[in-house]
Amino acid sequence: MASGAIVGGSLNAARYAIENGGRASNIVNVFDKSVVSSLGNPKWYARVDMPHANVPYHHINVNKAITGLKDPHIRISGTTAHAAGVAGKALNVVNKVAPYALVASVLWDAGDIANDVSNGRTKEATRKVISKTSSYVGGAQGAAAGAAYGSMIFPGVGTLLGGVIGGVFGGVGGGFVGDIVAGNFIGA
């Protein structure tokens, strides 16, 4: 489960940047690092805004240049907008920590496997390689699916939350399948 969440958070950090605030009406902005301006800066993908002169209610904006959709100004409640701001702050922390957590997780797993090998537990080491690899791969696949679903529900913040939640489920599923495969492969 943790492996999947770490993978989901790391994939988010690799692709998206989060900014709380910005212009006077912005609550939270999500930038897509894969789409850059002529100056090399990531373009905004989605943002949550407070009411302003042109749109007198809390809403989500999406960037047509990235999504291909005309900005629908998705109406949300003030409470939802505030919650998105809080989630944006938490996700910003996740974006900063996840890449380091991923490196630490992989190193921990590698050390655990190396310990099994050095102590002659090659079957256990093989089982762990298969299980851990499938957990990381499942986490990545789950994160991609979760981000897609999250984008449909709440572009930007939902994309990032979906990536982490999908990573958790994908990591668990991948680990479960990996254990089955390993059991069949090594006969344990």
Domains of the chain: total: 1
Q: Does residue 186 or residue 98 have the better pLDDT? A: 98
Handedness of CA 44, 50, 54, 60 (dihedral sign): positive
pLDDT tens, position by position, 100-136: 999 999 999 999 999 999 999 999 999 999 999 999 9
pLDDT on residue 156: 94
Contact 143, 6 (CB under 8 A): no
pLDDT on residue 186: 83
pLDDT of 50 higher than 90: yes
For range 48-63, the mean pLDDT: 94
Q: Does residue 187 or residue 175 have the better pLDDT? A: 175
pTM (2 d.p.): 0.88
Place of tokens 């943002």: 47
- Within 8 A by CB and 6+ apart from 18, the residues are 28, 29, 30, 31, 88, 91, 92, 95, 160
pLDDT on residue 188: 52
Range of the domain at 137: 2-186
pLDDT on residue 181: 92
pLDDT on residue 184: 87
For range 159-177, the mean pLDDT: 95
